[in-house]
């Protein structure tokens, strides 16, 4: 089974892809799962675009283990809860449109919008 299986979910095995994966772009794929906490194993991730799916749940804190994340696009999903991105000092693009994510945007994100 791959990281994205035929049932349109994100497999818990995604973290096994190791420290070499830098980009995940699975936008508009009818994925209807949560983001598993095992995503924390992708420490070199710099681009994460999952917009326009049917993802649910809160964002796992483990997603933010990728401190070099530059693009985070979560729009048009059913996420809820707060965004805890204070360690993402490299973040340049953040898209949260049409989600139920709450909370403020940290002033500790110096590159956002640059």
Domains of the chain and any CATH numbers: 12-102 (3.80.10.10)
Q: Residue 86's pLDDT is what?
A: 66
Q: Residue 107's pLDDT is what?
A: 59
* Rounded CA separation 52/16 (Å): 25
CA distances from 97 to 6, 15, 44, 79, 108 (A): 27, 26, 25, 11, 21
Q: Which residue has the tokens 């096994």?
A: 16
The residues that bridge with 78 in the sheet, in sequence order, are: 56
Q: Residue 110's pLDDT is what?
A: 60
Q: Residue 37's pLDDT is what?
A: 94
Tens of each residue's pLDDT in the chain, 114 residues: 455 444 588 988 998 887 789 999 999 998 999 999 999 999 999 999 999 999 999 989 899 888 889 999 999 999 988 776 667 788 899 899 999 887 666 655 666 656
């Amino acid at each position: 089974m791959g990281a994205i299986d035929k049932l349109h979910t994100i497999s818990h095995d995604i973290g096994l892809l190791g420290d070499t994966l830098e980009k995940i772009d699975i936008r508009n794929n009818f994925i209807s799962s949560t983001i598993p906490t095992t995503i924390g194993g992708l420490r070199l991730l710099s681009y994460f675009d999952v917009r326009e799916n049917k993802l649910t749940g809160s964002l796992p804190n483990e997603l933010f283990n990728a401190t070099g994340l530059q693009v985070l696009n979560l729009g048009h999903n059913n996420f809820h809860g707060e965004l805890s991105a204070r360690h993402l000092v490299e973040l340049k693009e953040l898209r949260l449109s049409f989600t139920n994510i709450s909370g403020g945007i940290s002033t500790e994100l110096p590159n956002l919008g640059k």
